Structure 1
Amino acid sequence: MSGTTTLSGRVASHTDLAVAAGYVVAVTAVLALVGDLPTAVAVPLALPVLLFAPGYAVVTAIAPATGHPASADGPGDRLGVRQSHDGLSRLERLTLSVVASVAVVPLVALVLDFVVGVALVPVLAGVAAVTVLAAVVAAHRRDSGGAHVAGAAGGPATGPSLLAGVPTDGITLGCATIAVLMLVGSATMAVTGDQAAETEFYLVTETADGEYEASGYTTDIADGETAEYTLGIEQHSAQPREYTVVAQLQERSGAGANATVEEREELDRFSTTVRPGNATIETSAVTPTTTGDRTLAFLLYEGEAPAEPDRESAHRVVHLPVEIT
C-alpha cells in the first residue's frame, strides 16, 4: 500500500512539469501539422510556449520545488509569495520562468540558424526538446531530494528571498508592466511569422541599361516555347543560407481566397546559396506543355524542396497569371 501511495504521490508532484512539457509538444505538433493558423488562434496558443513553459521547466530543474511551504498561514501565502524549502516563492518562480523563457527561445533560434535557418516550427521543436529534457531533469531532482525535504517539513525557509527588499512602488510596477508588454509584442511578431526582414523573394525584369524593375513580366507564352524569368533572393541572417526555387505551372479553379489548385506541372527547379546581407539574381527557364490560362508560381524553400511542393509548404511564393497559346 505504501508503495502505491508513494508512486501516486510522485505522479501528482510532477503534474506541473508534465503539463508544461506536454503543452509545448502539443502546440508544436499542431502548428507543424495544421500549418498557417489565423493570428488570433496562433498567438494565444504559442505565447505560453515562448514566455513561460520552457522557462518554468528550466527553473524547476535548477531549483526544484520539492518541499512543503515554509508557512501555510502567513500573509505571504495570501499574496502568493510564500516560500518553499528551495528558497523561491511562487511569485519568484513565475518571474524567473518568464525571464528564463525569454533567454531559452532566442538561444534555440540562434543555434538553429546555424543548422536549418530560423522558422517557427523548427524553433518550437527545439524549444519543445529543451522543455522535455529540463522537465525530466527536474522530476529526477525532485525524487532525489524528496527525502531530505520531507525531513525539513514544517521548518523555517532556508535562504533569502530573491525579491527581498525589492520596492513595489508605482514606478517599479509600471516599469514591470511595460517590460511584460514589450515581451508579449516580441512574441507576437515571432508567432505571426513576420520574416520579411530575413528573406526577400521577388520577381523582376532586366531593363536595357542593366537595371532591374518590378514590371514587364512575360505573361503570354507560346506552347512548347521557353520563357525566362528573373528572380531576386535577399537574406539578412548571420549565416549563408541555401535555397531551392521551384517553378510550377498551376491550373486553378475559383477566385481569390477560395481558389484551389486542380493541377500542377513542375517546370524548373534549382538551388542557390545566398550570403548574409547579400542578394542574388537567378534566372528560371520554363517551357509549358499545356495551353490555356494558368498561374505561374515560383516557390522558395530554405534548404531542399519536397518532392511535391505547394504554396503551403513554401517559405516564400511569388506568382503571376500567364496565357499559353
Structure 2
Amino acid sequence: MSSDSDRVHRLWLLLPRSVRRLPADLAAVLAVVVLTCTAVLTPGLQQTPLRVLVGLPFVLFIPGYAFIAALFPETGKTAEPDTDTDTSEMRSETGIDGIERVALSFGTSIAIVPMIGLLLNFTPWGIRLVPILVAVSGFTVFATGIAATRRLELPPEERFRVPYEDWAETAKTELFEPDDRTDKVLNALLVLSVLLAAVSVTYAVAVPKQGEAFTEFYVLTENETGDLVADDYPTEYTVGESKPLYVGIGNHEHRQMDYSVVVELQKVTISNNTTRVQTERELTRFGTSVGANETWQQQLNITPTIEGQRLRLAFLLYKENPPAEPTVKNAYRELHLWVNVTATQSTQHRVPPSSVSSKEQSYAS
C-alpha cells in the first residue's frame, strides 16, 4: 500500500508547481471543461448520456463559477468583533459566502453563454456547436487562470476554499448521530428522496423519450454561388434537354430506413378543387438506404418527355418499394413543381416510347 502511495506522490511531483498549487475547485472546473470537450467531439461519445450529464453544468454553471472566482478570490467569512479595541465594532466583510457564490455562478453563466453566442454570430464561424464549445471553453479556462492567480496572491487564511471537510463532517453528524427518533425518520426520508431523484434523473437521461418519427423530403436547386437552396427552381424546360435538381431525404424515424423515390411528369386538370391526372410519364425511380438521424442527397437530371403548359413535376417518396401505380395519394411524402415544357424545332412533340417508361390514364389526386 505504501509503495502505491509513494508512486502516486512521485507522479504528483512530476506536475508543474503551478498545477500542483491549483485549488481543488478550480481544478474541477478545468476537469469539467476537458470532459465536456471529449464527450462532444469524440465520435463514440456524441450520442451517449455523458454528453448531457457534463454539458448541462458546462453551460449553466461552470463559466459563471470561473468568472465569479476571478472576481472574488477571497473567502466570505462572517464578520467578527475587533478584539483589539474596547468597542463592539465589526470588521468589514469582504468576499461572498458559498450560497451567494453558487447563485451568482448560475446567473452569470446564463448571461455569459448567450453573450458569447451573440458575438460569434458576427464572426465567420457563426453560431455552431464547435465554435461555441471552443469559445465557452476558452473563456472558462482564461477566467480560471485569473482566479487561480488572484487567489494564490492572497494570504492562505484569506483565500476562498470549498469547505469539503466541514460539509462531510456536518453531513455525517446529521445523518448518523441524530438528536432524537424524529430526526432519524427525517434523515431516512431525506436519503430515500435523494436516491429516488438521482435514479429518476439518471433514467431520464440514459433512456430519453423518443420524439415524433418522421422523414424530411425536399428538393433543392443550385444558385449562382454553388449553394443548394430551396428557391428559384427552373420552370422552363425543353423536351429532351436536362436540368439538374437535388433530392434530399432526412431520416428521423429512429431506425435505418429503405426509401424509394419516383419522379413523374404529369398533365393535370383542376376543377372544383379536384386535381385530375390526364397523362403522366415516369422520368426516373431509384431506391436508397438512410441511417437513423442521417441525411442523404442526390443530384437528378430532369429530362422532360412530354410538352405542355403548367405540367406537374411530382416527386413521390415511399418507404421501401413503391406500389405498382405510384400516385400522389399513396406516396408517404410528395413534392411537386409546376413547369412549362416546349418542344425543340428539330424534333417531334413526342419522344419515342422506347426511350422512356410511360403510362397514360385518368384519375383524381
TM-score range, shorter chain: 0.3 to 0.5
Higher RCO (CA-CA < 8 Å; seq separation 6+): 1
Q: Could you tell me the TM-score, scaled by structure 1's length?
A: 0.42
Of structures 1 and 2, the larger Rg is shown by 2
